[in-house]
Amino acid sequence: MSQQQLTNVDFEPLHIDHAESEKIVGKSTSYWKDAWRRFRKNKLALTGIVVLLFLGFMAAFGADISGENFRDNDLMSTNQAPSSDHWFGTDNLGRDIFARTWDGARISLFIGLTAAFLDLIIGIIWGAISGYFGGKVDEYMMRIADILSSLPYLLVVILLMVVMGQGIWTMIIAMVITGWINMARIVRGQVMQLRSEEYVLASKSLGAGNSRLLFKHLVPNTLGPILVTLTLTVPNAIFTEAFLSFLGLGVPMPDSSWGVMTSEALGSFQYFPYQLFFPAFFICLTMLAFNVIGDGLRDALDPKDRK
């Protein structure tokens, strides 16, 4: 066996040109800049935002554009197909579907956004307390959340609606009573992580103050998942509203919502499919828009999945 003689010279470090070795990496970017770059590339998510802006605009002004009142029933012109008079046609009471659709949009979007917002508030408070105190407090708070979440969400909402009676606010409350759990779990997980993760310890040992920890570590780590959950809560709430209205437990008369309209149109959809088409289409479109935005945000905000 041939053995080379190793001398001290062999263990001398090679010469490294530091200026040269720095060239292999690109420019460093901040987390938010990077996230924005990735989100911008996602055409689907951008389309989702445009669609949402359009829906928001129409919810605000759409009912006025047609010059029809959503409550006016004109029994002389019931069940009319879409025409220049009634752009989306009329329903069985002669109400203009175009006007009703945008009035319904107002209620559907209001319910979706309010439910998501209340989820956020309760979730953050519950999760932060649970995660911050830890120990017994955490255990009891999370056990309560576990039991609530072990039941199907819709079943709980339906039972609550039966007890509380119909109405927009009772519907929102029923949704929020079980809906906050997801958010609370995410916030708690992040707070717990912040208490124990090594990168926080490392940052502290480098002399980072509380504000730096908060803004450089807690906020970027927590905001991403919260934002994504929030965007995905809205379509879920809109779906729940439609589902409940469909079962006859939703928005009471004379208000309309997409769910109510779908439900009303179902009985005669073989003869007047357009009555079902418009509300159903806008339910799907809204859910789709929120879903693709949520997906886009998740892909953009999760630095682990960088491309």
Which residues contact another protein (rule: CB under 8 A)? 1-2, 24-27, 37, 147, 150-155, 158-160, 162-163, 165, 235, 239, 242-243, 246-249, 262, 266, 269-270, 273, 276, 280, 283-285, 287-288, 291-292, 295, 307
**Residue 165, Ramachandran bin (φ over 0: left; ψ between -120 and 50: alpha; else beta):** left
Question: From the CB of 288, what's the least distance to another protein, in Å?
Answer: 4
**Cα–Cα distance between 211 and 241 in angstroms, integer?**
41
Nearer to another protein, 98 or 282 (CB): 282
Contact assessment for residue 298 and residue 228, using Cβ atoms and an 8 Å cutoff: yes
What b/e sequence results for 265-289 when a residue is b if at least 16 CB atoms lie within 10 Å of its CB, and e otherwise?
Answer: beeeeeebebbbbbbbebbeebbeb
Question: From the CB of 258, what's the least distance to another protein, in Å?
Answer: 10
Question: From the CB of 85, what's the least distance to another protein, in Å?
Answer: 26
Number of other CB atoms surrounding residue 115 within 10 Å: 25
Q: Is the N-terminal amide bond of 254 cis, ω within 30° of 0?
A: yes
Nearer to another protein, 124 or 260 (CB): 260
Helix (H, G, I), strand (E, B) or coil at 96: strand
Question: From the CB of 91, what's the least distance to another protein, in Å?
Answer: 16
Nearer to another protein, 46 or 128 (CB): 46
Nearer to another protein, 50 or 65 (CB): 50
Question: From the CB of 196, what's the least distance to another protein, in Å?
Answer: 17
Question: From the CB of 61, what's the least distance to another protein, in Å?
Answer: 25
Contact residues for 89 (Cβ-Cβ < 8 A; gap 6+): 79, 80, 81, 82, 83, 97, 272, 274, 275
Nearer to another protein, 135 or 248 (CB): 248
Question: From the CB of 15, what's the least distance to another protein, in Å?
Answer: 14
- In order of 79, 88, 97, 119, 288, the CA distances from 83 in angstroms are 12, 7, 11, 42, 27
Nearer to another protein, 68 or 278 (CB): 278
**Closest Cα to residue 88, out of 76, 107, 75, 103?**
103
Contact assessment for residue 86 and residue 68, using Cβ atoms and an 8 Å cutoff: yes
Nearer to another protein, 75 or 163 (CB): 163
Question: From the CB of 204, what's the least distance to another protein, in Å?
Answer: 24
Nearer to another protein, 273 or 303 (CB): 273
**Cα–Cα distance between 99 and 89 in angstroms, integer?**
10
**Closest Cα to residue 158, out of 236, 242, 247?**
247
